[in-house]
A and B are shown apart, each in its own frame.
Chain A
Amino acid sequence: MCDTCGCNITPGNLHLVSGQGKLARTEDGKAAVTVLTSLLHENDQQANHNRLHFNAHHTLAINLMSAPGSGKTALLEATIEALKDEFKLAVIEGDLETENDAARIRAKGVPAVQITTGSACHLDAHMVHDALHGMSLDGVDILFIENVGNLVCPASFDLGHHLNITLLSVTEGDDKPAKYPVMFRAADLLLITKTDLLAVLDDFDPQAAERHLRELANTAPALRISARKGNGMTDWLDWLRQTLAAHRTGLRQGGTSRPSVQPDGILLHGLEPSAVSHSHTHPHHHLLAPPTPLIPRQG
């Protein structure tokens, strides 16, 4: 057997030692194996399992992300107040410590499971899977997952949800989307919160925030709300209603929504779906028929 000069390479096995073949050799005699799998593959597999679970219950799962203190829990409290007679809601809360947020949700009459991560700065699909064991999704229309307050890490982790909502409060800088591009690029909706405070602030321009969002090539709508005072709540609730309806229509047509967190790059490398995790941006599930895009972005 002479691998050095290639004399045992035949037309039949040539493909195995060419650059794309599984047994291609490196200069120092190692076997070069092409892999092209996401480093988050294991999380993504669990996320897809979670997504199947949500879809089986026709539950729309929404991941809420923001810096700490942007108003995620207050938004949920106000949303529950407005929608609790219209939809069945449930919440998964994520914090490093305390059950405070889950307690606030339960006080509104909605079931909530608290994930305490200890020191983990983001939720992942395994944590959400475990939390789902603590609740029933029977009849649940919308499950909100309130992620750990953090503008960095949560954006990278598919939880099996359908949509990302990123909150930005007016007491933060309006250039946050430029500072945290991965997080804001992942938003399917940007919610500018605490807008009642604009009257006493002179350094937050909602249009600038939206402009920075557009520079991330993100077409997501940008809504302005005050959960505490009620400003903009009508548009927010209408967005939720439309989104839920569109999601359910898509499920009936055999597809699913996916959040913008998955890398476009994988798809465009022309990789086989089986060679990578199931994460990709097109609303597509390889076990079901390919659907049309489900959540129409405005703009």
Chain B
Amino acid sequence: MPWHGCAVHELSICQGLLEQVEALVREHGACGVSRIYLRIGPLSGTEPVLLEQAFTFARVGTLADGAELVIDTLPIRVRCKTCAAETEATPNRLVCGNCGAWHTELLQGDELLLASLDLELEDTHV
């Protein structure tokens, strides 16, 4: 079921993504890319479902036209500055899951990363 959120944001992220991918393909002398791995956290301000939808449009006619987008969504984890515990948290409740203190540091959960690529090199074509 398609979402109709503010997908303009995800579309502009796709454009930036594809520019990075094309540059990396050229940098490695590859002839294409088969898989693009992203890491997106709940606090990144970007919605993975919308990004996937935007990608199916944005990739057309580019080096990544046939590429599969794989999105790893890591849970939010915080480290407590009071008791040092590392616990999972939710986007609007980033307090320590152990002692309840709100002086925490985010370990994971706001990523918006191009993590890695599976490139097609010339010598992989038999």
Q: How many residues of A contact B (CB 8 A)?
A: 44
B45 within 8 A of A: yes
Would you call A33 and B117 a contact (CB within 8 A)? yes
Whether A265 pairs with B41 at a CB distance below 8 angstroms is yes
A121–B45 Cα distance when bound, in Å, is: 13
Output the nearest chain B residue to A177 by Cβ-Cβ distance.
B92
- Whether A31 contacts B118 by the Cβ 8 Å rule is yes
Question: Min CB distance, B37 to chain A, in Å?
Answer: 8
**Per-residue contact bits, chain A 25-51, to B (CB 8 Å; 1 contact, 0 not):** 010111111111111111100000000
B43 touches A185 (CB 8 A): yes
Q: Is there contact, CB below 8 Å, between A182 and B107?
A: no
Flag if B8 contacts A119 (CB, 8 Å): yes
Instruction: List, in ascending order, chain A residues with CB within 8 A of B111's CB.
Output: 263, 265-266, 269
Task: Using C-beta atoms within 8 Å of the partner chain, give the interface range for chain B.
Answer: 35 or more
Which of B13, B19, B112 has the most chain A CB atoms closer than 10 A to its own CB?
B112
Does the CB pair A40–B112 fall under 8 Å? yes
Complex contacts, B66 vs chain A, CB 8 Å: none
Which residues 181-221 of A sit at the B interface, judged by CB distance below 8 A? 181-182, 185, 212, 214-217, 219
Instruction: For B28, list chain A residues within 8 Å (CB).
Output: 22, 31, 33
**Does residue B26 face the partner (Cβ distance < 8 Å to A)?**
no
Contact A42 B34 (CB under 8 A): no
Binary A-proximity of B1-40 (CB < 8 A = 1, otherwise 0): 0000010110001001101100010001010001100100
Q: Are B20 and A30 in contact (CB under 8 A)?
A: no
> Are A38 and B113 in contact, with the CB atoms below 8 A?
yes
The DSSP consensus for interface residues of chain B is mixed
Instruction: Tell whether B58 is near chain A: CB-to-CB under 8 Å.
Output: no
Given A181-B91, A265-B41: A39 and B16 within 8 A (CB)?
yes
A178 CB-CB contact with B under 8 Å: yes
Q: In this complex, what residue of A is CB-closest to B74? A: A265
Q: Is A225 an interface residue (CB 8 A)?
A: no
Q: Is A156 positioned at the interface, with any CB of B under 8 Å from its CB?
A: yes
B24 proximity list for chain A (CB < 8 A):
33, 35
Residues of A within 8 A of B105 (CB): 217, 264
B100 to chain A, nearest CB (A): 10
Q: How far is the CB of B49 from chain A (nearest CB, A)?
A: 16
Q: Is B84 interfacial (CB 8 A cutoff)?
A: no
Q: Flag if B124 contacts A153 (CB, 8 Å).
A: no
Residues of B within 8 A of A217 (CB): 78, 94-95, 102-106
* In contact, B92 and A215 (Cβ under 8 angstroms): yes
Complex Cα spacing A217 to B87, Å: 13
Q: Is A31 in contact with B9, judged by CB distance below 8 angstroms? A: no
Q: B114 interface residue, CB < 8 Å from A?
A: yes
Chain A residues near B95 (CB, 8 Å)? 215, 217
Name the 9 nearest CB pairs between A and B, nearest first: A156-B45, A30-B118, A217-B94, A263-B110, A264-B106, A181-B92, A178-B92, A181-B91, A217-B104
